[in-house]
Amino acid sequence: MGDRLPSGDAMTSAFPVLAQQVGGRPLAYLDNAATTQMPLQVLDAMRRFDTHDRANIHRGVHTLSQRATDAHEAARARLKAFVGADERHELVFTSGTTESLNLVAQGLSLPGMPSGGGEGALQPAWLRPGDEIVVSALEHHANLVPWQLATRRSGARLRVVQPDAEGRLAPEALAPLLTPRTRVFALTACANGSGERPPYEAMLAMARDAGALTVLDAAQAMAHEVPALASLACDLMAFSGHKMYGPMGIGALVGRRDALDRLVPLRLGGDMVEWVSQTDAGFAELPQRLEGGTPNVCGAIGLAAAAQFIDGVGRDAIAAHVEALREHAAAALSALPGVRVLARHAHGSAIVSFVVDDVHPHDIGTVLDGRGIAVRTGWHCAQPLLERVAHGPTTRASFALYNTHDEVERLVEGVAAAVEMLR
Ligand code: PLP
């Protein structure tokens, strides 16, 4: 465990929700891939905004509106620095990864006025019939279903890079799918269903070299392995606040301005226009053009506080800690009879997903809950992946900086007891 990681009582006072009993045992919260908990620093930042500065942004000359606007823009600047954006990039606030990826897939496949209206003429969609979109078989539904619809709308074709039998995704599997028709390549930085961490750096670079627009779903990476945007061949990257110690209902799409400029705005209305007549409108510059309506200002402030929290603890320390927990859990669970851990080989992951012969994951989850251990069971919104590598739903434990090796031991004991009881 890294020096700067708080431990024991310090951790439960930093994360008040952890200081409770469930099923008569101290809570072991191992559902962090679904949602992480928030530290006091983040809760305090949001409370400060709501009790001192709360007002709508951009439209007011009064002091609170100006303070709120400044805080919102300061949050944007902090998050751009956090993800390693440079002057080529811009960050658009969204409600989370799902909205970010929908904005990309729909924004590229709908006809509209991507870079400012006013001329009245609708431009054809960026994606055209005969184009190809490549995704991987590891994706969360949020990085698959929007592309399925985009192909139907545009007449493009969806192609899927397949993993090997253990769920590994290799650059060599991508190579044959990249052709002059490939317009988009969309990939996860870590598969939430299996815990596989694909070599996304190399795969994005291959796709960029082939002329594709590259999209990275970083939802499962931001809490421990923040991809450094400017050093990646990545045009657009999506993430969620609630998976990185921040609030729910806030996230971002960050990427190159020229890529964001291609997106047809989906949220039309206030704050995203320069002027409006009865029959026409001129759109604002980025990022406002893609942020129509009143944004989640408090959420943006909480998200920036979460980024500050992660940097304060140290990204390397968090990554080393969650990876050690994952390795501990994967090794111990694999040693149990009848238990198969998916992506046993994975590195750079905080997720351990497993199946047990003849026992349903929901039953395991219920037994674990009775012992105060929170895990997730089911398809994890990654049904095609799990059908391929697990042949059904799984039980998934996922780790954050506040988890401990004792909790991993409790998980393993709990699974062993569940198997004994249920088989
Ligand atoms: N992508 C991945 C890899 C995820 O794990 C998730 C959520 O579990 C999402 C996308 C969707 O994130 P959200 O529900 O925050 O929009």
- For the stretch 205-242, pLDDT in tens is 999 999 999 999 999 999 999 889 999 999 999 999 99
Residue 95 CB less than 6 A away from ligand 1: no
Residue 140 CB less than 6 A away from ligand 1: yes
Residue 113, pLDDT score: 77
% of the chain residues with pLDDT over 90: 90
Residue 134 CB less than 6 A away from ligand 1: no
Partners of 356 in the beta sheet?
339, 359
Residue 280, pLDDT score: 86
Residue 115, pLDDT score: 65
Residue 96 CB less than 6 A away from ligand 1: yes
Once rounded to an integer, what is the mean pLDDT over residues 326-340? 97
Residue 11, pLDDT score: 79
Once rounded to an integer, what is the mean pLDDT over residues 290-294? 96
Is 381 marked active-site? yes
Question: Which tops the pLDDT comparison, 231 or 123?
Answer: 231
Q: What is the DSSP string of 92-151?
A: EEESSHHHHHHHHHHHHHS-B-TT---S-PPBPPSS-TT-EEEEETT--GGGTHHHHHHH
Residue 123, pLDDT score: 87
Domains and CATH numbers, the chain: 8-30+314-422 (3.90.1150.10), 44-311 (3.40.640.10)
> What's the 144 CA to ligand 1 centre distance in angstroms?
11
Partners of 38 in the beta sheet?
none
Residue 192 CB less than 6 A away from ligand 1: yes
% of the chain residues with pLDDT over 70: 97
177-195 pLDDT tens trace: 999 999 999 999 999 999 9
> What's the 161 CA to ligand 1 centre distance in angstroms?
20
361-396 pLDDT tens trace: 999 999 999 999 999 999 999 999 999 999 999 999
> What's the 281 CA to ligand 1 centre distance in angstroms?
34
> What's the 361 CA to ligand 1 centre distance in angstroms?
21
Residue 116, pLDDT score: 62
Chain mean pLDDT for the chain: 95
The answer on pLDDT for 96 being more than 60 is yes
